Structures are given as structure tokens and as C-alpha cells.
């Protein structure tokens, strides 16, 4: 009896301790399994994320390849890429595709340059023969039959062809390496009138050898730079009787490359090619056009020269471009220009630049099949907006409407037009813009297999049992 009672007493005392030890042991054994499970889940989630990213980037690449031949499929694949994994690469690809879907071929004929009126309605494009275009029908999506050019300026001369168009679209200058600069009245764009000619500089051997030209917005002030390095200012208030205002010497041992005027004609930006690549960009004060005064030189790096320049309407923002780079300059103080930022561009050279009147949007192009739009709202932090793709060959010249709603690009492949009126919404939210305009966008099962390499689309369809993937309803998952 005593032995049995003692055993029971021992069990009573040892039971809880035994249970505690067993519980601790179970916990100790479970912890490694739990940690292992957490590690496995973390690695599984990480692998899933990487698979989604790889799939999204692959779809974005396919979309880029299809922009020219199958734009609708490019949009669908680009949208799917952003829905699956939204990052800088997939968003930029979708933006470029959506912008490209609002482009058209204005003319298939080779063009050396293109210019545009401020309102984006009148365009001039061509080479030895300069066509006049009214873009009204081109900017109305409901009009299927777009208007052809409405006139031709046939008085082009042999040599380097150049064109300047006033902001109001009523006055045109045409000229070249040899011959007078011709003044045209474009009040009726369908019936251009040759009204006068501007004779060259004061040096007989350089007379009529025009290197660059520009017009003020109202067409009343013209600036001509000739081969001899003279800047000739003209008053075109009476276009039939132009009055020469002044002739100023620009820069010795240099050849003018580009000439730009502010809207009021009070500021000129002139770039030069110099000996041994010792180029320069100069700011000229033309507030008194009868007495032009150079106010400053931009401090370009040694051995660099400007391939292209452009200025906003008020003369406060200047872009200077050369190989792989474009610099933004602030000209609030004309005597002390300040470099605010640089744009790294994917071109070996810059052939054309344009900027909106407010200086907040710029278009840059070089020897490639696309031009790049930049947001310059913060001149210290420029941001890429979109690439205007779809052009067939290198771009020689670009133009922007004053408000940035129309863009043109010209070169050996012809002249292209982009309608940019929805650009702000597309850049802000490309997914929303694509789904708003195309709510029923789908990718068939066959196309999904083709462009994803056979990826299981059940991860992205959710409960949808149809044979097509509704792109705007792709299940994002937990990333």
C-alpha cells in the first residue's frame, strides 16, 4: 500500500514537470521547421516576383518590336506588362506605344527640314520644293480623308535650303547657300505670295551666302547670318518693302551654325563652328535692332560646339545640344547665363531640337528613328516624357507647336506628325489611359502562349474561365 501511494505521489509531482518538458521539447523541435517554412515561403515569394518581372519585361520587349507592324497588339502586350509588374521600363514602353498610336505620315517625300506655326495649324516641309500643309484635318480623328499639301513654294534655290516661319504663320523666309532670301506672304496658306527679297551682307564675296535665318513671332523682325560672319537685321513691317536695320560682325574665324530669335525679336542665340572645333554660343541683345550688342558667351566645355540650339518664346530658357548631351541654360540675366542641368540623350549627335513657348517641353532628335520628348518644368530636374517612335529613318529636323500639342519630324523617310493632345494623361497614368480608350482589350490564349513562352495564365486570370485574357482585369497578385 505504501509503495503504491508513493508511486502515485511521485506521478502527481512529476506529471506537470514532464508535460512542461514535453511541451518545451515540442517547441524546440517545431522552431526549425517553422523557420524553414518561413525561409521557403520568402524564397518562393521572391522567385514568384522575379518570374512576374521577367514576364513583364519580356512582354514589353515584344510590344516594342510590334509597334510599327501591329500597334494594337503592341498596346495589349505593353498594357499586360504594366499590369503584371509596373516599373520604369514597362511604363515607359507603354507610354511610347500609346503616343505612337496617335501618329501619321504627313508626307512620304524626303524632307530636309520642317517648321510649324505656333498654333500647330500651318506646317512647311520639304527640300528643294517646300510644301505648305494645313493640319486642321490631320488633328481631327473623325476625318478619315486627310488633306494633301495645299501649296508649294517653288522659288527654292540650289545650295543649303533653309526656312523660317513666323509664329503667326503669316510670314515665311526661304533661302540657301546661293541666292537672295525670299520673303513670302502666307496670309492665305493656299495662295503664297512672293513679296520681296533680302539682299546679303556688306561683303561682296559673301553676299547672298546665307548660313542661318530666323523670324520673330509676329514676322516683323528678321535676322540673317551670312557666310562672312555678318548678322543682318531687317524690319518686315511692310513685307513688300523690307528695311535693313543693321549689319553687325559676329565672330572671326567662325561659321554660323544656328540662329534663334525670341518671340519679340529682342534676343538672339547664335551658335558657331570654329577652327579646331573651337565653337561657341553667343547671346545677342537686339532690344534695339539697329544696334545689336553681344551680351554673353555660354561657357561650353573645351573642344565642344553646339550642333543645335533652341530658345523659348520669352528668351529665358535655352537648350544647347551636341553629341549625347543637351544642356539647359537660364537666361534671366542676359549677361550671366546659368547652366541648370544636362540631358543625356541616346544620340551620337543632335540634328534637331524644338521647345514649347513656355520652355517646359522639349523635343530632341538625332541620327535615329525616334525623337525624345522631355519635361523641363523643373529646369534643374528634367524628366523624359516619351519617345516619338515609328519614323523609318534618321530624323533631320523636328518642330513643336507652341503648346506642345503637335509634333513633327522630317528626314529622308518623309515627314511624320504626332498628335500629343492626350500626352499629359498618358504619362500620368498609362494603364488608365489605355483601359479608358480600350475597355475590352484582350489577349487570346494562343497569343499569350506565343509571346510568354507558354506561361501559365491562370495566375493572372483569376476566376475568369474564358479563352481570352482581359488585360485591364489582370490579377496583380502580391508583389
pLDDT tens, 113-139? Answer: 899 999 999 999 987 788 999 999 998
Residues 46 and 162 in one domain: no
Phi, psi of 62 (to 5 degrees): -60, -40
The answer as to whether 460 is a domain residue is yes
- Domain assignment present for 11: no
Asked whether residue 306 falls in the same domain as residue 447, the answer is no
pLDDT digits (tens, 9 = 90+) for 153-178: 876 555 446 899 999 999 999 987 66
Tell me if 183 sits within 8 A of 234, measured CB to CB: no
Q: Do 77 and 217 fall into the same domain?
A: no
pLDDT score of 437: 85
Closest CA to 415 of 131, 23, 43: 131
pLDDT at res. 143: 87
User: CATH code at 198?
Assistant: 2.130.10.10
Q: What's the pLDDT band for 349 if we cut at 50, 70, 90?
A: confident
| pLDDT of res. 204 | 44
Residue 79 sits in the same domain as residue 109: no
Among residues 386, 402, 423, the one where a domain terminates is 423
In-domain check, residue 86? yes
**Residues 157, 81 share a domain:** no
- Of the pLDDT bands very low, low, confident and very high (cuts 50, 70, 90), residue 47 is low
Average pLDDT over residues 256-261: 89
Q: Are residues 405 and 443 in the same domain?
A: no
Q: What pLDDT score was predicted for residue 224?
A: 93
Q: What mean pLDDT comes out for the span 91-98?
A: 95
Q: Please determine, for residue 234, whether its predicted confidence score (pLDDT) is greater than 80.
A: yes
pLDDT exceeds cutoff 70 at 64? yes
- Name the pTM for this structure: 0.84
Flag whether 21 is in a domain: no
Q: Is 13 a domain residue? A: no
List the domain range (segments joined by +) for residue 196.
105-423
Determine the Cα–Cα distance for residues 178 and 286; give it in Å rounded to an integer.
26
pLDDT higher for 269 or 206? Answer: 269
Q: Kindly state whether residues 172 and 312 are assigned to the same domain.
A: yes
In a domain, 5, yes or no: no
Model pLDDT, residue 370 = 83
Together in a domain, 254 and 340: yes
R_g (Cα) of the chain, nearest Å: 32
456: buried, middle or exposed (CB in 10 Å: 19+, 13-18, 0-12)? exposed
Do 167 and 268 reside in the same domain of the chain? Answer: yes
Most confident of 187-201, 202-216, 396-410: 396-410
d(CA 130, CA 109): 11
Half-sphere exposure of 447 (CA within 13 A, CB side): 19
Sequence-separated (6 or more) residues with CB below 8 Å from residue 234: 198, 221, 222, 223, 224, 242, 243, 244, 245
Q: What is the dihedral of CA 296, 302, 308, 309, to 10 degrees?
A: -20
- Residue 28 inside a domain? The answer is no
**d(Cα 180, Cα 190) in Å, to the nearest integer?**
23
Residues 76 and 167 in one domain: no
Q: Which of 41-45, 301-305, 459-463 has the highest mean pLDDT?
A: 459-463
Is 306 a member of any domain?
A: yes
Residues 332 and 382 in one domain: yes
Strands (E), 135-198: 151-153, 162-165, 171-175, 181-185, 193-198
Domain total of the chain? 2
Same domain for 454 and 326?
no
Amino acid at each position: 500500500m505504501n509503495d503504491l501511494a508513493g508511486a502515485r505521489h511521485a506521478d502527481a509531482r512529476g506529471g506537470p514537470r514532464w508535460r512542461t518538458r514535453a511541451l518545451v521539447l515540442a517547441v524546440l523541435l517545431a522552431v526549425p521547421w517553422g523557420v524553414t517554412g518561413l525561409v521557403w515561403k520568402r524564397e518562393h515569394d521572391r522567385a514568384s516576383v522575379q518570374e512576374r518581372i521577367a514576364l513583364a519585361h519580356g512582354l514589353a520587349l515584344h510590344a516594342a518590336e510590334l509597334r510599327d507592324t501591329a500597334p494594337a497588339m503592341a498596346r495589349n502586350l505593353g498594357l499586360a506588362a504594366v499590369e503584371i509588374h509596373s516599373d520604369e521600363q514597362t511604363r515607359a514602353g507603354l507610354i511610347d506605344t500609346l503616343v505612337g498610336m496617335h501618329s501619321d505620315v504627313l508626307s512620304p517625300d524626303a524632307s530636309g527640314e520642317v517648321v510649324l506655326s505656333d498654333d500647330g495649324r500651318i506646317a512647311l516641309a520639304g527640300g528643294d520644293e517646300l510644301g505648305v500643309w494645313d493640319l486642321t484635318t490631320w488633328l481631327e480623328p473623325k476625318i478619315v480623308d486627310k488633306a494633301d499639301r495645299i501649296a508649294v513654294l517653288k522659288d527654292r534655290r540650289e545650295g543649303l535650303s533653309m526656312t523660317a516661319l513666323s509664329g503667326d504663320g503669316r510670314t515665311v523666309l526661304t533661302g540657301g547657300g546661293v541666292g537672295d532670301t525670299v520673303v513670302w506672304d502666307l496670309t492665305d496658306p493656299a495662295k503664297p505670295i512672293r513679296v520681296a527679297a533680302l539682299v546679303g551682307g556688306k561683303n561682296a564675296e559673301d553676299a547672298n551666302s546665307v548660313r542661318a535665318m530666323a523670324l520673330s513671332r509676329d514676322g516683323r523682325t528678321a535676322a540673317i547670318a551670312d557666310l562672312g560672319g555678318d548678322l543682318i537685321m531687317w524690319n518686315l513691317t511692310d513685307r513688300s518693302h523690307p528695311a535693313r536695320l543693321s549689319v553687325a560682325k559676329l565672330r572671326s574665324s567662325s561659321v554660323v551654325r544656328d540662329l534663334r530669335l525670341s518671340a519679340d525679336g529682342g534676343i538672339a542665340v547664335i551658335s558657331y563652328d570654329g577652327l579646331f572645333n573651337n565653337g561657341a554660343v553667343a547671346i545677342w541683345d537686339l532690344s534695339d535692332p539697329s544696334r545689336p550688342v553681344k551680351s554673353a558667351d555660354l561657357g561650353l566645355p573645351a573642344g565642344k560646339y553646339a550642333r543645335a540650339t533652341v530658345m523659348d518664346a520669352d528668351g529665358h530658357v535655352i537648350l544647347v545640344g551636341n553629341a549625347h548631351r543637351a544642356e539647359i541654360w537660364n537666361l534671366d540675366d542676359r549677361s550671366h547665363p546659368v547652366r541648370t542641368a544636362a540631358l543625356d540623350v541616346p544620340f551620337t549627335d543632335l540634328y534637331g531640337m524644338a521647345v514649347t513657348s513656355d520652355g517646359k517641353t522639349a523635343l530632341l532628335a538625332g541620327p535615329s528613328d525616334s525623337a525624345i520628348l522631355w519635361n523641363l518644368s523643373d529646369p534643374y530636374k528634367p524628366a523624359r516624357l516619351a519617345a516619338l517612335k515609328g519614323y523609318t529613318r534618321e530624323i533631320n529636323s523636328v518642330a513643336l507647336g507652341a503648346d506642345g500639342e503637335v509634333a513633327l519630324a522630317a528626314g529622308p523617310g518623309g515627314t511624320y506628325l504626332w498628335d500629343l493632345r492626350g500626352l499629359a494623361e498618358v504619362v500620368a497614368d498609362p494603364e488608365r489611359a489605355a483601359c479608358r480608350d480600350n475597355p475590352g482589350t484582350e489577349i487570346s490564349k494562343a497569343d499569350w502562349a506565343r509571346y510568354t513562352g507558354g506561361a501559365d495564365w491562370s495566375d493572372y486570370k483569376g476566376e475568369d474561365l474564358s479563352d481570352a485574357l482581359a488585360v485591364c482585369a489582370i490579377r496583380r497578385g502580391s508583389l
